[in-house]
Structure 1
Amino acid sequence: MDGPKGTKKRKLLDKSIPNVILQTPEFAQDSKMYQELLEMERKLDWTMMRKRVEVQDALGRTPTTTRTLRIFLSHTVSGQLWQNTSGEAPPQPNFETGEGMPAWQFKIEGRLLEVPNSRHREKVPQRKFSTMIKRMVVELDRDPQLYADNNIVEWPQAPGHNNPVLDGFTVRRTGDTPTKIRVVMHLEHFPEQYRVLPELGTVLGIKEGSRIEVIQTLWNYIKLQGLQDKVDRRQIRADDKLRPIFGSELVLFQRLPELVNRFLAPPEPVLLHYMLNPGSPPPDRPQAWDVEVKMEDAALKHKMAVTVSASKESSQTLLKLDEEIALLAQSLHNSHMKKTFLESFAKEPAQFIQTWLESQSRDLESILGSGPTEGQTLRQEELKRSEFFQLPWVEEAVAITEGVRLAAPKIQP
């Protein structure tokens, strides 16, 4: 009876060879090499599985890295007196449209620098400059009597998914007087960074970090100083440095995050100063500043994801090779059994057949579920009623056998 259509063919995965073959002198060297390869493969599979699990666990915790953000400040001018090289009188400015009025444009751009010592560029797309800024304020130091309005430009990052994705910002204004520009930039870090107040920062030796980093540093200090209570491990005993911070002698372990939050403040913004002089040609090269930004390590996350999810083709190739090795090992095992069978038969044919028949009889008794005596009785009854003895050649065989027996010389007592 055929099995269900969904039943899959059983695959052989046992790649071991019989110990008798391993101990055979002519196969000793090859067998040893094969066993060493199997042992190496088991160790490699175990190591790869353990590393894959570690990578999967690391993927649950988003990897972070510190990258360098290079910020460029530059400006261009238009309609200035020094740009009129024709010698003619400049046209009258149109105050409604702004045409003919001296003006300037202040540009703020930024990009991430490549990771040093990296052989290949990252395949993941680079983040835009605006996605790395939480809030930015541009302050223009101009005469309030001439330019009373629009001296402060603020760019707050829009909430949700409405954030504009830009490579830079441009501030356009009219005027021909030198202007001092101050840029206040709050960066978008991941994880979010905080400034540690001096009361706690002096004790822990850190000035800035994420909330988890500060809590971990405080816990390391507690363990290093042995401040955890010996009896109740949930309680922390304050020393002379932590007593002003805790406000008591004993503090429960679960209150540490609450206490740390009291000494965390927003990080200091990035301050950039720029001098814009419309009365002279702008510099050929923009001014640049490098700042560090903590962000998600997308390249490492991509590499870990590729490592965990092996390609389908490579997995199928490895499975096919394992099946071929298992089939060869099974074929070797079958050949050894056949060789043993034929050698035993060639050595003593009669005794071998008798032993083999007894073995088959015992197997039949086991299949029928009978004991030794019952099986013997059942076997005799089956032989007596068997159609085997009704075959046409049985009479001839009995006659020949009896003839041989009678013709044999009798031994006198």
Structure 2
Amino acid sequence: MCGLYLSQVAPGGQLPQSDDVSRDVRKTPSSRKPGDNSVWMLTSVEGPDTKKTACYDIDVEVDDPLKAQMNSFILSTANQQEIQGLDNKIHETVETINQLKTNREFFLSFAKDPQQFISKWLVSQMRDLKTMTDVVGSPEEERRADFYYQRWAQEAVCRYFYGKVQQRRAELEQALGIRNA
């Protein structure tokens, strides 16, 4: 886009380009041909749309004719129940919106990449199941036979059987009516 003066000198918005730009630039006014045109323009790096703005906060007190009426409405006990009911409705609506947003994100992630979604979902479900059932340890490690040949495993088996024997003995004594003295 040419300026007003540049468009008068260069019709069509294009200036002819010289092969040796540096030579043309270094010409002094006396060494130029009489037909040469010189155009002096001031260009700005900032565009015309660039605006500098400043923001200020100004406190202004304005008399509100409805302020007293609103205060009396809020302070009346009859309206407190209505306000509480409206507040509960707002709370329920916000909860519903949050739930719908969560559902939407859930289904969008499924629509975007079903395979990755199912993989992540299964990992999440497995983590939740471990938390709910209080699973301790690593099931993958426990599947290997070497896990059960460790030194502590023999002691754990002996304690387990001793506990079961004691439990059965107590049940038998209770059934027969025998008491330990």
Q: TM-score range by the shorter chain?
A: 0.3 to 0.5
TM-score between both structures, scaled by the size of structure 2: 0.35
Higher helix share: 2
Higher strand share: 1
Between 1 and 2, higher relative CO (CA 8 Å, sep ≥ 6) is seen in 1
